[in-house]
């Protein structure tokens, strides 16, 4: 038996229609949706007939429960005021424009389902097994993964809510975060994601499907509805421009943007710098990248590199890094934030891996070269994401950024 499972439709009928068509092309026997039918899109009512007309089996997400009850907010689990601002903007629109008959239908949906399918006990939830709006991130500590699995005990657990897909076997359970079809997965790919799961005599196998859809129409609808450009920009680029504060540092670091513009003054203050030290690269969106900032300059140092400098320069240019410099005699001073455990990063390539700073090149690298070194551009990108991740952790430890909301359940 094969099932197709999506989550987070987010008022995106173009993606939902593509999901139905693709699932049928892939010979899925049943189609499921794990909730959050509204939000982030401008066409909430258009998704209802697509669900009912194609026998998509639905569970309710936090958004659906909120719309059905006319609640004051979406119950998404955001804590940061800027995340709440953008979520509130979209929720108010969705509540105002959703047909109350559709809202009443949402109110009839269960918040979880459990079915025996071809010998497998399958548990369908929205956030996780512990809470409707719990964010089940891939990078959670193992104890947190086990806690959620033990709360269910199912052979297969299907979830969504976080917006980022992943598949892992945890104990005896196969856990599949199906991602969402309402917006991209913050990796620069405009395609959205859903899961195909094959169930055969008690054995389950799953894969994440990247789904093409009419993203241009989706973006145009957002602009016609007069939403801030940030919403359409995510659709057209594949990078999140809102709801940045909620993911853990690992997931957050993989995106192009890492913090809101409003965080900049507080981050620069410990160095006696004004906002002019970090000009806003794009005033049409409310976010920016740590990479290329005064806290993480967009250049690479090298000492004893494992490859030729010309190859390193070419790989760096492929990652939009224009400055590649030898560290001998040119090492910058080490700068610290408060009682930080380490200085601000100055990414440095050595024969052992990526060092945090040229003056720390003789110490073990923060990112060692694997036994088989990957393509250099991938190595540069991994080092950059790793540096952003550790820097985000340090900024949170110094109370300069709000720590992420690992779970709401």
pLDDT tens digit sequence for 130-146 = 999 999 999 999 999 99
pLDDT computed for residue 339 by the predictor: 76
Q: Strand pairing partners for 120?
A: 117
Query: Which residues touch 115 (CB under 8 Å, ≥6 apart)?
Result: 122, 124
Report how far residue 122's alpha carbon sits from residue 204's, in angstroms, rounded to the nearest whole number: 10
The DSSP 8-state label assigned to residue 296 in this structure reads: B
Q: Strand pairing partners for 324?
A: 300
Report how far residue 115's alpha carbon sits from residue 372's, in angstroms, rounded to the nearest whole number: 43
* Distance linking the first and last C-alpha atoms of the chain: 32
Per DSSP, the three-state class of 316 is helix
**Residue ranges of the chain whose pLDDT lies below 70:** 329, 372-374, 405-409
pLDDT computed for residue 405 by the predictor: 61
pLDDT computed for residue 110 by the predictor: 98
pLDDT computed for residue 374 by the predictor: 67
Report how far residue 360's alpha carbon sits from residue 67's, in angstroms, rounded to the nearest whole number: 53
Report how far residue 322's alpha carbon sits from residue 292's, in angstroms, rounded to the nearest whole number: 11
- Contact present, 202 and 257 (Cβ < 8 Å): no
Specify the pTM: 0.94
Structure tokens of 105? Answer: 């239908």
Pairing of strands 299-302, 323-326: parallel
């Amino acid at each position: 038996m094969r099932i197709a499972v999506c989550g987070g439709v987010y008022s995106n009928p173009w993606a939902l229609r593509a999901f139905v068509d693709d699932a049928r092309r892939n010979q899925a026997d049943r189609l499921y949706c794990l909730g959050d039918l509204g939000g982030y899109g401008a066409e909430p009512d258009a998704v209802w007939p697509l669900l009912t007309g194609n026998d998509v089996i639905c569970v309710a997400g936090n958004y659906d429960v909120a719309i059905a009850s006319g609640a004051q907010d979406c119950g998404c689990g955001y804590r940061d005021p800027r995340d709440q601002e953008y979520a509130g903007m979209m929720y108010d629109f969705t509540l105002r424009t959703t047909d109350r008959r559709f809202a009443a239908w949402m109110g009839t949906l269960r918040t979880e389902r459990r079915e025996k399918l071809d010998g497998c006990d399958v548990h369908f939830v929205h956030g996780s097994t512990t809470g409707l709006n719990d964010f089940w991130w891939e990078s959670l500590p193992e104890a947190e993964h086990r806690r959620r699995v033990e709360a269910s005990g199912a052979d297969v657990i299907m979830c969504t809510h976080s917006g980022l897909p992943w598949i892992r076997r945890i104990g005896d359970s196969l856990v599949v975060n199906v991602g969402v079809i309402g917006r991209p997965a913050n990796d620069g790919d405009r395609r959205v994601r859903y899961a195909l799961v094959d169930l055969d005599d008690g054995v389950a196998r799953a894969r994440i499907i990247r789904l093409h859809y009419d993203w241009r129409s989706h973006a145009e609808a957002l602009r016609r509805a007069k939403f801030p450009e940030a919403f359409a920009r995510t659709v057209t680029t594949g990078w999140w421009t809102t709801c940045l504060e909620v993911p853990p540092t690992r997931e957050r670091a993989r995106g192009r943007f890492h913090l809101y513009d409003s965080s900049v003054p507080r981050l620069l203050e410990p160095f006696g710098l004004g906002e002019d030290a970090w000009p806003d690269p794009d005033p049409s969106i409310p976010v920016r990248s740590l990479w290329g900032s005064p806290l993480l300059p967009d250049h690479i140092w090298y000492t004893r590199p494992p490859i030729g400098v010309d190859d390193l320069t070419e790989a760096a240019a492929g990652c939009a890094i224009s400055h590649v410099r030898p560290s001998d005699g040119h090492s910058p001073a080490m700068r610290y934030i408060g009682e930080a455990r380490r200085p601000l990063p100055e990414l440095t390539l050595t024969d052992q891996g990526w060092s945090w700073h040229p003056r720390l090149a003789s110490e073990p690298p923060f990112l060692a070269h694997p036994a088989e070194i990957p393509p250099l551009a991938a190595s540069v990108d991994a080092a950059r994401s790793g540096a952003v991740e550790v820097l985000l952790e340090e900024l949170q430890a110094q109370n300069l950024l709000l720590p992420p909301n690992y779970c709401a359940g």
